[in-house]
Structure 1
């Protein structure tokens, strides 16, 4: 598989969810629509990450690999008619 984009750092094989902040863990969980208690401690968030996010790794990276660069939908603001 190709190199993992920096915004998906949490899918790196060496990533340790215990080493990031609670805020970052919450952000990742929200990105994938994983619900968690507002008073959840870090250990609970790490467990949710391992249960819900890690299993998505191959699927997310495979989808990402299929995206091809395109100029479709891009409008030239200097020459809108082109």
Structure 2
């Protein structure tokens, strides 16, 4: 399945449940999943790896969290 086919399928399913497909898509689901993982675990490094980011700062910006808080948590995680 191509990414475009997946996006179309998702768009149809979102419409089927009565939501506006223009407000929800593959990217918003990706961001939501990453945010939920971070909130539940506080493990910024795991989220970074899951998203495929090379820089922790990119992950912090992507999640929209405070840089100081995120970096303090990241320093507590051994890799």
TM-score range, shorter chain: under 0.3
TM-score (norm 1): 0.24
- TM-score normalized by the length of structure 2: 0.25
Structure with higher Rg: it is 1
Comparing both chains, which one has the higher relative contact order based on Cα–Cα distances under 8 Å and sequence gaps of 6 or more? 1
Where is the helix percentage greater, Structure 1 or Structure 2?
2
